[in-house]
A and B are shown apart, each in its own frame.
Chain A
Amino acid sequence: MDDQALSGGFADTPREAALAFRAALTAMARPGRIEAVAGARPPAPLSVAAGTLLLVLADPTTPVHLAGALDRPGLRDWLRFHTGAPLSDRAGAVFAVGRWADLLPLDAYSLGTPDYPDRSATLIVEMDALDATGARLTGPGIETSHGLSLPEIAAFRANRARFPLGLDFFLTAGERLAALPRSTHVEAV
């Protein structure tokens, strides 16, 4: 384990985690709204936003799947040191993080059960950029409609069709994040 794995955590965990969680909560409550977070300085190529989300939400009870290029020693060490989260395959993951192409196929993740739809995975999708344009989002948390740049449309529509089962998504780019819960209707514009 090198020095990089030991640094890049929160300096003042209770307050920084509270502020970052408020941003994540607001994003999940208002799908498509882009929020800024800060605090984590994870090793490349993980974004600040994705790293901060993992510091806020992951712990020894939540297996994390590092997808594709993120599954590298430096990041594995950083995640384990700062959160204690066990690494996992797709099926066992509570959180999965990676680029869209690396996260696929989505049906490998836990969707929850009819009795416990909350026992589904949350995917953190690393993006090059986030814009309030692209797909048209409607549903709970949205007064009329929001725009959001999504990696694709069909997968999110299929996810919505399974409601109340389904995956929930955070989309991250740099220090910015947005959320797309399973309750959101997605349409191409």
Chain B
Amino acid sequence: MTEAESRVEAPGADYNFAYLDEQTKRMIRRALLKALAVPGYQVPFASREMPMPYGWGTGGVQVSAAVLVPGDRLKVIDQGADDTTNAVSIRKFFQKTAGIAVTGHTGEATVIQTRHRIPEAPLTEGQILVYQVPIPEPLRFLEPRETETRRMHALEEYGLMHVKLYEDIARHGEIATAYAYPVQIEGRYVMDPSPIPKFDNPKLRMAAIQLFGAGREQRIYALPPYTEVVSLDFEDHPFVPGKAEGACALCGSETSYLDEVIVDDRGGRMFVCSDTDYCAGRRAAGHVGAEGAAAGEGRA
């Protein structure tokens, strides 16, 4: 994050706090409370047009706008990175419209909006994790009709999902779903955890509050802290949270989720931590990977 960005701008006097009008926030807040009361169930809400296109996190932004308070410290990540266009834009949006502080450090944030990753560092009780969700309905690609999927959830009719996972095994020898891996919440609702890698699924049971917002699809859902989350599997094909083999080339971590980066046009590649804050923290603490001479450069 650049120095100019980390400077807290004066609250935009032309905007209501956190951009949305109060009537809209009340509607979203009521949906959030019902979502927490029925974990994993998708609550319809009247999603608003936001000053960014659908697909850029309008659901997450609306949820964040409804939960932010003065004094919050917001972190926004896109695939684990704090410095991508989407993350930078959303941080700036709330700096301007809510006058709140922002941070890149997971431990310092009170609200974290994320696109497709859960931070490596365990989250704590005081934190809220807001997910941007493209397709909230885990059954959508199996059954396109909303009236049908809604009835399937009502009847707890999830056989189709197991057939899909079974067909994965029949075709590939293993469950080939690598992201947006379906989970069942407290033995009831099957839920799409958003397109996080299945590596992150075990972290879904956490101390922080998790809120999911799908803007285009107009759905909000939630997981209270410590909610039981089970990744669907079979007894003879248990769930495996996979990741790329190897260690981060910059910080040497063998336990974090890795991005593959193509470095030349001859097939050369390197693996680096997807979570930029985690990687920078490790390098600052003296950990060095195979190509980690770069410590001290870049974001830090």
- Give me the interface of A with B, judged by CB distance under 8 Å: 13-15, 17-19, 21-22, 24-26, 28-31, 56-59, 61-62, 94, 114-118, 120, 122, 139-143, 163-164, 168, 181-183
Contacts and interface: CB of A to CB of B under 8 A. Distances in A.
**Interface pairs A-B: 7 shortest CB-CB:** A141-B224, A14-B17, A181-B37, A114-B154, A118-B34, A140-B227, A140-B224
Given A140-B39, A140-B186, A182-B37, A61 B27 contact: yes
Contact of B17 (A15, A115, A168): A15
15 contacts: A14-B18, A18-B67, A18-B69, A25-B209, A28-B37, A59-B23, A115-B151, A117-B38, A118-B35, A118-B43, A143-B207, A163-B188, A164-B189, A168-B33, A183-B39
Contact of A118 (B22, B23, B38): B38
Given A18-B17, A21-B29, 9 more contacts: A15-B17, A19-B70, A25-B32, A56-B26, A57-B26, A57-B33, A141-B224, A181-B38, A183-B186
Contacts of B223: 140
B247 interface: no
Contacts, number: 115
Given A28-B36, A183-B38, A62 B30 contact: yes
B38 A164 contact: yes
A15 B32 CA distance: 18
Given A21-B29, A57-B30, A15 B227 contact: no
**What size tier do the contact residues of chain B reach?**
35 or more
B88 interface: no
Contacts of B140: none
Contacts of B26: 17, 56-59
Given A115-B150, A122-B33, A18 B38 contact: no
Given A22-B67, A26-B209, A140-B227, A56 B29 contact: yes
Contacts of A21: 25, 29, 66-67
A57 B29 contact: yes
B41 interface: yes
Interface of A is mostly: loop
A25 B189 contact: no
Contacts of B33: 24-25, 28, 57, 122, 168
B12 interface: no
Contact of B16 (A14, A25, A115, A139): A14
A114 B223 CA distance: 20
B31 interface: yes
